[in-house]
Amino acid sequence: MIEERITVERKVLSENDRLAAEIRRRLTERGIVSLNLVSSPGSGKTSLLEKTLGALNSKLKIALIAGDVQTENDADRLLQAGGKIVRPIITGGACHLDARMVTKALEQIDLEEVEILFIENVGNLVCPSSYDLGEDMKVVTMSTTEGDDKPLKYPAMFRRSSALIINKTDLLGHSDFDLERAKENARSINPDLELFETSCRTGEGLETWYEWLIRLVRDRKARDAE
Amino acid sequence: MIEERITVERKVLSENDRLAAEIRRRLTERGIVSLNLVSSPGSGKTSLLEKTLGALNSKLKIALIAGDVQTENDADRLLQAGGKIVRPIITGGACHLDARMVTKALEQIDLEEVEILFIENVGNLVCPSSYDLGEDMKVVTMSTTEGDDKPLKYPAMFRRSSALIINKTDLLGHSDFDLERAKENARSINPDLELFETSCRTGEGLETWYEWLIRLVRDRKARDAE
C-alpha cells in the first residue's frame, strides 16, 4: 500500500516537474522574474503583497496569482489594492498549488505585460515545498508571532527558499519570539537565505524589500540584454 | 493520472479509517477522552498544552502524543512542563499525523494510566482535516495574529472540529483581527463549535478551558458507569 502510494506520488511529482519546466521556460524567455510566496496561514503574505502593489505598481509591471483553498478573498484584496493583473486559483481543498493550476492561470495572463510575477501559495509550511511551480525562487514568510523555531520544525521549506521575510516585527516584544534566534535557526538550515525584516503595519523594512524586487527585475533585464 | 491518484488516496484513507476505528474502540472501552489538536504552525498549541499540564497534571491522568515534521521540540517542551506520558511522532516530512503513526505511539503508552489523551497534530490547517486519528473530537486553535477570515479560507478544518480556541487574545488590538468577526465566520461554517478565548501569556480564559476538559472526563466516567 505504501509502495503503491509512493509510486503514484512519484508520478504526480514528475508530471508536475515537467509542467513546471515548461512554465519556467515560458517565463524565462520573456524575462519575467517569478516568486513563489509560501508561509503558514496568517503570516501576512497578502498584506505584504498589498503594500508591495501600492509601492511598486507605477514602477514595475506586476502580475499576481493568488492561491486559496476555498475563497477568492486574497485575490479580491489584491485587486482592491490596485493589482492590474490578478488571477485567483481555488484549490478546492488541496493543500498546495501545483504546476497544472499555474499553467491554467497563466493562460489568462498576457505575459507581454508582465515584468514580475508573484504566486501566492496556499498557507501551509509543508506541502508547497514539494511542488515546483516553475518559479525563479521561493520566498518564505514567517511572522514574529509564530515561534522562532519554525525553521527547525519545517526545514524543507526554509531549505528550498531563497529569501525569508520575518514579518510583523511591530509585534516583537509581545511574545517570546527571539529575532536573533529565529535568524540563526533559519541560517542553520539555509545559510544562503536573503533575509528581510518587515512590518506591514508600521512600514518598517518594506523599503529594503521593494528595492530588492526592483533590483531583481533590473538585473534580469540587464542579463537578458547581454 | 488524476484518477489513479484519487484511487490510491481513497485506499489510503480507507486503510486509515480502519486503523482509526480500531484506535477509537480501544480508547473508548477504557473510558479515555481523546482530543486531536489541529492548527496553523505557531498558533500556540504547545504553549496551551504546557499550561494545561501545569494546571491539570494533579487532577487528571494525562497522556500526550506530539507530532512534528522534523524535530522533537514539542515533545521536549511537554516533558519539561511536567508531562508524565509524552510520546513524540516525527512524520519525516509528512504534513499530518495518520492513524498508523498514532497506533504505534499508543503501543508505548499504558492506557490504564490515562484518562485524557491529547494528540498534537502537525501545524497545518489543510491536510490533518482528512485523517481520522480515532479521536473523540478535533479541537482547532487559531491565534489572533492569523487573520479573522481563516475559518472561511480553511472551512474543512473548522467544520470537522468540535471546539475552537481563539488564542493570543493578549495581542488583540495590535492587528486588524476582529474577534467578533472571527467568531461569526467560525459559526457560519460550524454553528456547533464550542468556543474558547485564551491567552497563554496572561492566563485569560484558560480556566474555562480547563473546566471544560475536567467536565469531559467526568461526563465520560459517569456515562461509562451507567
CA distance B43 to A173: 17
CA distance A103 to A131: 13
Contacts of residue A1 in chain B, CB cutoff 8 Å? 11-12, 15
User: Under an 8 A CB cutoff, do B171 and A168 touch?
Assistant: no
Using a pLDDT cut of 70, give the percent of chain B over it: 99
Chain centroid to CA B85: 16
Q: What sign has the CA pseudo-torsion B159, B160, B162, B166?
A: negative
Q: What sign has the CA pseudo-torsion A193, A188, B83, B21?
A: positive
Contact yes or no for A124/A155 (Cβ under 8 A): no
Contacts of residue A71 in chain B, CB cutoff 8 Å? 149, 152-153
User: Under an 8 A CB cutoff, do A42 and B152 touch?
Assistant: no
Question: Is it the case that residue A2 has pLDDT exceeding 70?
Answer: no
Instruction: Say which residue the cell 503570516 belongs to.
Output: A43
Question: Is it the case that residue B183 has pLDDT exceeding 80?
Answer: yes
Question: Is it the case that residue A45 has pLDDT exceeding 80?
Answer: yes
DSSP for B174-199 reads: SSS--HHHHHHHHHHH-TT-EEEE--
pLDDT digits (tens, 9 = 90+) for B196-215: 999 999 999 999 999 999 99
CA distance B59 to A200: 44
> What is the model's pLDDT at position B109?
96
Interface of B with A in 92-131 (CB under 8 A): 93-95, 122-127
Burial of A93 (0-12, 13-18, 19+ CB in 10 A): middle
> What is the model's pLDDT at position A152?
95
Closest Cα in chain B, distance from residue A221 (Å):
37
Chain A residue at shortest CA distance from B201: A175
B139: DSSP letter: E
- Cell numbers found for residue B199: 491567552
Q: Which domains does chain B have, with CATH numbers?
A: 2-225 (3.40.50.300)
Instruction: Say which residue the cell 476505528 belongs to.
Output: B21
Burial of A79 (0-12, 13-18, 19+ CB in 10 A): middle
Question: Is it the case that residue A50 has pLDDT exceeding 90?
Answer: yes
User: Under an 8 A CB cutoff, do B68 and A153 touch?
Assistant: yes
Picking from A8, A143, A153, the nearest residue to B8 by CB comes out as A8
> What is the model's pLDDT at position B226?
85
Interface of A with B in 142-201 (CB under 8 A): 142-143, 145-147, 149-150, 152-156, 168, 170-171, 174-175, 201
CA distance B37 to A5: 26
A64 contacts: CB under 8 Å, gap ≥ 6:
A49, A53, A75, A78, A83, A85, A86, A87, A117, A118, A119, A120
Strands B137-143 and B33-39: parallel
Mean pLDDT, range B92-112, rounded to an integer: 95
Strands A62-68 and B116-120: unpaired
B146: DSSP letter: S
With vertex at residue A159, the alpha carbon angle to CA A70 and CA B77, rounded to the nearest 5 degrees, is: 80
Contacts of residue A202 in chain B, CB cutoff 8 Å? none
Contacts of residue A123 in chain B, CB cutoff 8 Å? 40, 125, 153-154
Chain A residue at shortest CA distance from B173: A171
User: Under an 8 A CB cutoff, do A71 and B152 touch?
Assistant: yes
pLDDT digits (tens, 9 = 90+) for A141-177: 999 999 999 999 999 999 999 999 999 999 999 888 9
- Cell numbers found for residue A65: 496569482
Question: Is it the case that residue A11 has pLDDT exceeding 90?
Answer: no
A vs B: CB pairs below 8 A = 128
Q: What sign has the CA pseudo-torsion A175, A176, A178, A183?
A: negative
CA distance A33 to A20: 15
- Cell numbers found for residue A76: 479580491
CA distances from B74 to A152, B86, B93 (A): 12, 10, 16
Quote the mean pLDDT of chain B: 94
Least Cα distance to B96 among B160, B47, B48, B152 occurs for B160
